[in-house]
Amino acid sequence: MPRDVNRELLELAEFHGEELEKIYPQWKYTADRMGLSDEDIAFAVDHYIPDNWEVQYKGIRMMIGAYLRETIDVVATPKMKEDGVKIVYGILPAIATNYTAIKHAGGDKVFVGFPDLLLVNVMNSFFHEAAPYFYRAEAEGFTYGCRHCPLNKMRFAAFSSGLIAAPDIIWSWGFNCDEGPKTDEMIKCLIGQDWNYVVSRIPHDTEFGIIDDEIEDRVKYLADMMKLGAQQVSDAIGIKVTDEAMAAAVKANNKYSFKIGQLVNMCCNADPAPLGGDALTMMQQPITLPFNTGFKYMEEALDVLIKEMRAAIKEGRGIVPKGAPKVGFYNVPFCIPWVGKMFRDNGVIISFSHVLTASKKQLSPSKYEDSWMQAAEMWLRMSIGQNLGSELEGIIEKIEMNHPDAMIMGFFDFDRWLGSHHKMLAKLLEDRMGIPSYYIEADFWDDRDYSPEALRTRIESVCQILKMKKGIVE
Amino acid sequence: MEAIMKELAKQAKARPVLLQKAKEEGKKVIEYTGNFIPEEYIRAAGAEPFLMCRGGDPEAPDAVLEYMLRFMNPLARSMAGYWLMGMDVVTPITDLIVMQQTDNHVGRISELLEFKGLPVFKVGVPPDWDKQLAVDYYKDQLKKFVAKMEEVTGNKIDEDEVRKNFAKTNAINERLRKISELRKKNNPPIGFSEFIKLNHYSFAVDNDVMIGKLDELYDELKDAPGKFMEDCPRILLVGHAVAIGDYVVPKILEDAGAAIVADFLDEGIRTYNDDVALEGNLIDNFVDAKYVNKVPIDIFQPAWEQRFEYIKKLIEENRIDGVVWYQLAFDEIYDMECSCVAKWLKEMDMPMLKLESSYEYSRESMGPLTTRLESFVEALKGGKKNA
């Protein structure tokens, strides 16, 4: 009897019984549409997932399941649109609550998601198969040589190939990024005028060390921009985001954030570490990536994982030996999961992601009562919303909180904002804290140019040095 | 023309020395970037302005690599690179570097300058220019810039002095427009190589002197014979910037027998088509002229369809035979726009050559570059002959 690899995958992702039977045809359809062959899925089930993810934990398997569910929804957007469901997209980075509030307000009448991020995430983290979409985008105008963002390539190619529907509106936050919002203009110009978009932007114009969220004019401008964008979204889909919907979105986000904060803190300070930073980052994602399926499935996975981590820590179980050096990342490249494995294989654990770890200020109450001012302030308190000098202070705080033995910068070579200042950050961190900080040129989403062979020597050298510093002799 | 160009080149070259003298005499020196900082206010504050827009050397972009991602455009990298190499005599004496924040390239390079301890002041220019909120924001930024000028110089800016300065830059614009119009002739008496240098000199030479020299030049050129071969291909040059010193590509094109008769660049050139009205509030007028009513720069959004309409107008008005898209390496937004423009030009049957520059003009690079440009020009010549 031939293998049914799709069924095996779903079972691995903790679908069983009736639920498995119900989701099986939906997943089969999704996999076909995405171009995942049985061989691709067999590779994922036999090698890629078990090699790179800690599937010994049920919570991790459930997390994979939650991502697969979301993928099914993303790929169903053309059908949803035919059925009259309003389609709302967004892009990273953003504050998810501004989008999940739309879902709270619209329920089943609206789809809300960031399809490019979700697709790159699922295709590369679990199947290592996003490359065909990147090639497609490159052939159709997103040139290879200019080092464009793989997320934008995915958005372009996913629409060009018919995998996702044209949105009723995509609300692109360009508070960091130039290329993200301009991708919508490019899609509209090159592929289809029905790609309806609205952009919200703010210039990077605060001087080094000025604290962005403390400039009231700046908070107000950003709040007004957000409000205007939200209004344009509402006008496009005919769904008004009520205060109640926003409050419900914030409440759900806060609940999840609190739990994920517990998990990260627990794992980063455990010795031996029971879980790597790539898995933690995958669990952190719903804070910045709205799931059309909501927090439900990720939160169930999170609850299970927290229990499993408590047990592992209590029993002294880890995925690296006790005393193994820990490295923090600017952002852990969870879409290229073999990076984390390569560190682990060399006796070093990846711990936290700076950009996804909340600072004390982020967790402190807002000084504003207006919800838009709060959202704007929240953005400006995030490291990615700040100038280099302010961001540095945030990293220092997180290093003091999570105690890594070194910081790894880089993996953002495609990003002229989030990826261009890492060498300066590395120097500043070494000067201020004496913590070794290494810059590795690589791509967070796409490993075509930075294969394991290309990065192995660099990663092995870093690991060797860190172990020597800790007096670990092999 | 040669004598006037030589004289202007000499004066422009002397500018850093004049700035050093001015500094010794107690004047403030203010560097600035791009077209969204009104230098007229710097002058009115009694300071000496200096445009940071040098490029064309491969070493300067490379000099920032110790601090910066390598996939940043070479013009932005050069802004810090020359100084890091010790090849910039103005930045060490500058009292302030005013940097327009239009994109992430210049944004992070501004931070590199701050990281190295240089005094930087940023002027935010929101790319979503079609919103009133963004327009108001930019106006507020300019007001802060004016206040900063007053703070740095210790001088209260006199609005009439600003008006006089705008009148002078309008006068320069008017003369550049007249000279540019001459490029519409069947055989233009002036090429782009000279025209872009005129623009560059105008940033460095005293305004009154420049106005006089442009008048002289126009009188000389208006009835002068053409400087190109009869019926040579007519080219439109589109791109981000031809920086001060980055003259290789235009020269090769013109040496190959093409005339660049029109240009559409976002930086490193005066926005000579867009005068600032002198009545009423000058900041409002500046914003109207350079931000609201001007053809948007590439990073603005929306922009590309409107920009292409402008390209079509230039093609028609200047009887263009081919378009050269001159792109700075790793300038990702221009690269994306280029894909759209290439598609639209193809639909019009208009030949286009995309050229990327990392300011690498070594002997090894020059051969292939020259061959590409010459081949394009030859193809255009062939096309004209067949037509």
B304 and A202 within 8 Å at the Cβ level: the answer is no
What whole-number percentage of chain A has pLDDT above 70?
A: 100
- Which three-class secondary structure state does DSSP give residue A367? coil
pLDDT of residue A45: 98
CB spacing of B71 vs A417 below 8 angstroms = no
Q: How many Å from the N-terminal Cα to the C-terminal Cα in chain B?
A: 34
Looking up tokens 């040059």 gives B237
Exposure b/e, B45-71, CB count within 10 A at least 16 = b? bbbbbbbbbbbbbbebbbbbeebbbbb
In chain B the domains, ranked by start, together with CATH numbers, are 14-159+230-387 (3.40.50.11900)
Query: In angstroms, rounded to a whole number, what is the distance separating the alpha carbons of residues A382 and A39?
Result: 41
- Report the sign of the C-alpha dihedral through residues A316, A317, A322, A328, in that order: negative
Two structure tokens written together for A451: 């294969």
The 3-state secondary structure of B192-247, one letter per residue: HHHHHHHHHHHHHCCHHHHHHHHHHHHHHHCCCCCCCCCCCCEEEEEEEECCECCC
Contact A259, A299 (CB under 8 A): yes
Residues of A in contact with B330 (CB under 8 A): 146-147
Place of tokens 């008004």: A240
Using an 8 Å CB-CB cutoff, list chain B residues near A417.
104, 107-108
Structure token digits, residue A35: 């171009």
Question: Which H or E run includes A233?
Answer: helix A216-237
Identity (one letter) of the amino acid at B257? G
Total residues belonging to chain B: 387
pLDDT at B364: 86
**Tens digit of pLDDT for each residue in A365-423?**
999 999 899 999 999 999 999 999 999 999 999 999 889 999 999 999 999 999 999 99
First to last CA, chain A: 46
Mapped onto helix, strand or coil, the DSSP state of residue B125 is coil
Q: What is the DSSP letter of B296?
A: P
Dihedral sign (CA A425, A430, A435, A441):
positive
Name which of B65, B13, B17 is nearest B244 in CA terms.
Answer: B13
Q: What is the DSSP string of A26-46?
A: HHHHHHHHHT--HHHHHHIII
Query: CB distance B140–A217 less than 8 Å?
Result: yes
For residue A439, what is the enclosing H or E element?
A: strand A437-440
For B129, name the nearest residue in chain A, comparing CA atoms only.
A201
User: Could A422 and B69 be called an inter-chain contact, meaning their C-beta atoms sit closer than 8 Å?
Assistant: yes
In terms of C-beta density within 10 A (0-12 exposed, 13-18 middle, 19 or more buried), how is residue A197 classed? buried
Q: Please, which residues bridge with residue A174 across strands?
A: A201
Binary contact (B69, A179; C-beta < 8 A): no
Contact A370, A292 (CB under 8 A): no
User: Residue B205 has what pLDDT?
Assistant: 98
Q: Tell me, what's the pLDDT at B363?
A: 84
Helix axes B207-221 and B159-182, enclosed angle (nearest 10): 20
Instruction: Please judge whether A190 and B343 are an interchain contact, meaning their C-beta atoms are less than 8 angstroms apart.
Output: yes
Number of H helices, E strands in chain B: 14, 8
Cα dist. B86→B53, B59, B97 in Å?
Answer: 16, 11, 17
Place of tokens 């305004």: B207
Nearest to A423 among B66, B329, B330 (CB): B66
Which residues are CB-contacts of B269 (< 8 A; sequence separation ≥ 6)? B196, B199, B241, B242, B263
Torsion angle, alpha carbons of B126, B129, B135, B138, to 10: 30
CA distance B325 to B356: 8
Question: Which residues lie below 8 Å from residue A347, measured CB to CB, with a gap of 6+?
Answer: A320, A321, A324, A325, A463, A467, A472, A474
- Nearest Cα neighbor of A376 from A94, A78, A51 is A94
Total length of chain A: 474
- The pLDDT assigned to A193 comes to 82
Q: Do residue B104 and residue A388 have CB atoms under 8 angstroms apart?
A: no
Answer whether B125 sits within 8 Å of A419, measured CB to CB: no
Distance CA A327, CA A153 (A): 30
Predicted pLDDT of residue A472: 85
Across chain A, which has 474 residues, the per-10-residue mean pLDDT values are 94 98 98 98 98 97 98 98 98 93 96 98 97 98 96 98 98 96 98 94 95 96 96 96 90 92 91 94 92 97 98 96 95 94 95 88 91 92 94 95 94 96 97 96 93 90 94 79
Distance CA A409, CA A386 (A): 17
ipTM of the complex as predicted: 0.97
| A467 neighbors A474 (Cβ within 8 angstroms) | yes
Residue B323 β-bridge partners = B236, B352
Spell out which residues of chain A touch residue B115, defining contact as CB-CB under 8 Å. 208, 388, 424, 428
Chain B's closest residue to A187, CA to CA, is B340
- Provide the token pair at B228: 């190109």
The residue of chain B nearest to residue A423, with distances taken between CA atoms, is B67
State how far the Cα of B210 lies from the Cα of B190, in Å rounded to an integer: 17
Instruction: Give the angle subtended at the CA of A180 by the CAs of A176 and A186, to the nearest 5°.
Output: 150
Taking chain B (387 residues) in consecutive chunks of 10 residues, what is each chunk's mean pLDDT? 96 97 97 98 98 97 97 98 97 98 98 98 98 98 98 98 98 98 97 98 98 98 96 97 97 97 98 97 98 98 98 98 98 98 98 96 89 96 82
Of A108, A104, A132, the closest CA to residue A119 belongs to A132
**Which H or E run includes B9?**
helix B2-24
Task: List the strands of the sheet with A197-201, edge to edge.
Answer: A110-113, A86-90, A169-174, A197-201
A193 touches chain B (CB under 8 A): no
| Gap from A263 CA to chain B (nearest CA, Å) | 33
| Neighbour tally for A408: CB within 10 Å | 29
Q: What's the CA gap between A134 and B96, in Å, rounded?
A: 43
Chain A 397-436, residues with CB within 8 Å of chain B CB atoms: 413-414, 416-417, 419-424, 427-428
